């Protein structure tokens, strides 16, 4: 059986961040990076907008501002982002503050889905040149923490240190490893919400600030705004029992693509389950399945005009008159999101829409579309026994799947933190 100094599972930003850091600092280390896909599947590949200011993307329970500021320059050095301008921020901020809403000033860059692809290809080629072994299309099925080996669909491989960075899609895999390695974990927090799609002139702030970060009362925030050549998409997930459900998401291409005049962004509410403590993941899955039930195995979409009148949207009237643009996600059911969304979630989101419409007038136009559900499973929180995200002896867990990040840059930073733990040991 072949043995590596370090095996990294996942070629998302976390996996790549770890590989570069280890190789930069100690080129003699034998490193293997594995992914079940032929190409990394995460945010680098979708939209690739990057936020470089704490706390966006950095869960505050495992990151202080000082820690983030220590690692962010290293992420910037490798990814070499071109920062976008933010204009007229003070005007928006003043309007927001009057309503008890805050607007964060975040350094951002945006490569777009096509630009992200080029970045991935460049980074992967660089790793291969550095003698890091890369295995794509290989799935890690199991980990034996005692014998220090992983079992894939092709072989068994030994490790001295293991970095698991399987992303949100690897939630179940990570939970299985945690059960096997006796790592206690919590998964009581989840973000649930809707995605808005409207004409760009009805959310004109995007001309001044690409991905504006508003925080509203009731733990609601704007998230992942896309404009230019922007599209709403649906991602497939499976519950523990194998039931299929979809979560909405959005992305945009780079400026080289023709603009479609639309913008999309999420309004997410953070839900923290307390007594009796329950799994946020199971709660979210249940809501996902409920939406599938009502949508005939598809997510739901509703025009704001219909929502205000308390009636469902229907396919035959979905476009026309004031409903004046085609949805970019057509594979979605025109219906009633309020039938599928708990009031405790929908009410603060609707209130936030009203506040947003006062700050950036236009977003509540009758033609605006609300898609449901958008679910973010950030909830796997292993109990780490050191500050380098070591969850069991020689096993480090990082990135969105392990709850150490909520975005590309923090995923990369959290992996550097883990790599530094390995380098120091
Ligand atoms: C559509 C979409 C758009 C997004 N847009 C943005 C954005 O613009 N900006 C931003 O900051 N964030 C964005 N995100 C979030 C971003 O993707 C994540 O925050 C980030 O990618 C997390 O990095 P990660 O390395 O933890 O996981 P990922 O990037 O998800 O990478 C995990 C990798 O592990 C692999 N893997 C999983 N399990 C196994 C296994 N058992 N064996 C082998 N390989 C495995 C997966 O195939 C995957 O390639 C977006 C996400 C999506 C889905």
Written as tens digits, the pLDDT of the chain (425 aa) is: 999 999 999 999 999 999 999 999 999 999 999 999 987 766 688 888 999 999 999 999 899 999 999 999 999 999 999 999 989 899 999 999 999 999 999 999 999 999 999 999 999 889 989 989 999 999 999 999 999 999 999 999 999 999 999 998 888 899 899 999 999 988 878 899 999 999 999 999 999 999 999 999 999 999 999 999 999 999 999 888 899 999 999 999 988 899 999 999 999 999 988 888 678 888 999 999 999 999 999 999 999 999 999 999 999 999 999 999 999 999 999 999 999 999 999 999 999 999 999 999 999 999 999 999 999 886 678 999 999 999 999 999 999 999 999 999 999 999 999 999 999 99
Distance 88 CA to ligand 1 centre (A): 32
Q: Is the CB of 152 under 6 A from ligand 1?
A: no
Testing ligand 1's pocket by substitution, the residue of 408, 409, 415 carrying the most ligand atoms inside 8 A of its CB is: 408
Atom of ligand 1 nearest to the CA of 168: 30
Atom of ligand 1 nearest to the CA of 399: 26
> 179 lies in which domain range?
3-84+110-186+380-424
Q: Which of 238, 191, 258, 209 is nearest to 92 (CA)?
A: 209
Identify whether residues 354 and 408 lie together within a single domain: no
Atom of ligand 1 nearest to the CA of 110: 8
Q: Which residue has the tokens 């392990």?
A: 402
Q: Is the CB of 36 under 6 A from ligand 1?
A: yes
Does residue 89 lie in a domain region?
A: no
Identify whether residues 285 and 153 lie together within a single domain: no
Identify whether residues 206 and 268 lie together within a single domain: yes
Does residue 172 lie in a domain region?
A: yes
Atom of ligand 1 nearest to the CA of 407: 19
Identify whether residues 389 and 372 lie together within a single domain: no
- Answer yes or no: are the C-beta atoms of 385 and 421 closer than 8 Å: no
Q: Is the CB of 302 under 6 A from ligand 1?
A: no
With the C-alpha atoms ordered 76, 79, 83, 89, is the resulting torsion angle positive or negative?
Answer: negative
pTM to 2 decimals? 0.91
Identify whether residues 278 and 239 lie together within a single domain: yes
How many Å is the maximal CA-CA distance in the chain?
67
Identify whether residues 327 and 241 lie together within a single domain: yes
Identify whether residues 361 and 384 lie together within a single domain: no
With the C-alpha atoms ordered 157, 163, 169, 174, is the resulting torsion angle positive or negative?
Answer: positive
- CATH of residue 152's domain is 3.50.50.60
Identify whether residues 276 and 389 lie together within a single domain: no
Cβ burial, residue 84 (10 Å; 0-12/13-18/19+): middle
Identify whether residues 309 and 396 lie together within a single domain: no
Identify whether residues 268 and 321 lie together within a single domain: yes
Testing ligand 1's pocket by substitution, the residue of 111, 114, 166 carrying the most ligand atoms inside 8 A of its CB is: 166
Residue nearest to atom 33 of ligand 1 (CA): 10
């Amino acid at each position: 059986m072949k043995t590596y100094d370090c095996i990294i599972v996942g070629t998302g930003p976390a996996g790549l961040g770890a590989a570069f850091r280890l190789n930069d600092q100690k080129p003699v280390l034998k490193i293997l990076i594995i992914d079940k896909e032929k190409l990394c599947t995460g945010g680098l590949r979708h939209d690739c907008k990057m936020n470089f200011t704490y706390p966006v993307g950095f869960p505050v329970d495992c990151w202080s501002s000082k820690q983030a500021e220590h690692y962010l320059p290293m992420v910037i050095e490798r990814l070499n982002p071109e920062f976008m301008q933010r204009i007229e921020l003070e005007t928006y901020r003043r309007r927001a503050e009057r309503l008890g809403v805050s607007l964060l000033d975040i350094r951002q860059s945006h490569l777009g889905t096509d630009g992200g692809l080029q970045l991935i290809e460049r980074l992967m080629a660089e790793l291969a040149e550095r003698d890091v072994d890369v295995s794509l299309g290989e799935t890690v099925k199991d980990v034996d923490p005692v014998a220090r080996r992983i079992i894939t669909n092709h072989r068994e491989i030994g490790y001295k240190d293991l970095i698991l960075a399987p992303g949100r899609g690897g939630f179940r895999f990570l939970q299985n490893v945690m059960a096997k390695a006796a790592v206690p974990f919590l998964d009581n927090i989840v973000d649930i919400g809707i995605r808005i799609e409207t004409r760009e002139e009805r959310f004109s702030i995007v001309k001044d600030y690409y991905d504006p970060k508003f925080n509203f009362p009731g733990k609601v925030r704007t998230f992942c705004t896309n404009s230019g050549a922007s599209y709403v998409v649906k991602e497939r997930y499976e519950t523990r029992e194998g039931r299929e459900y979809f979560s909405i998401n959005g992305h945009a291409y780079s400026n080289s693509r023709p603009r479609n005049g639309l913008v999309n962004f999420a309004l997410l509410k953070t839900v923290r389950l307390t007594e009796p403590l329950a799994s946020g993941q199971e709660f979210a899955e249940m809501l996902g399945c409920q939406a599938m039930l009502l949508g005939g195995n598809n997510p739901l979409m509703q025009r704001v005009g219909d929502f205000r009148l308390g009636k469902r949207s229907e396919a035959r009237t979905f476009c026309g008159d004031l409903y004046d643009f085609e949805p970019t996600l057509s594979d979605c059911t025109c219906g009633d999101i309020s039938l599928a969304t708990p009031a405790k979630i929908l009410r603060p989101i609707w209130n936030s829409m009203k506040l947003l419409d006062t700050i950036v007038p236009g977003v509540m136009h009758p033609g605006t579309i609300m898609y449901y559900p958008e679910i973010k499973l950030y909830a796997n929180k292993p109990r780490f026994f050191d500050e380098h995200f070591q969850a069991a002896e020689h096993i480090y867990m990082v990135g969105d799947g392990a709850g150490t990040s909520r975005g590309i840059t923090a995923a990369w930073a959290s992996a550097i933190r883990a790599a530094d733990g390995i380098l120091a040991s």
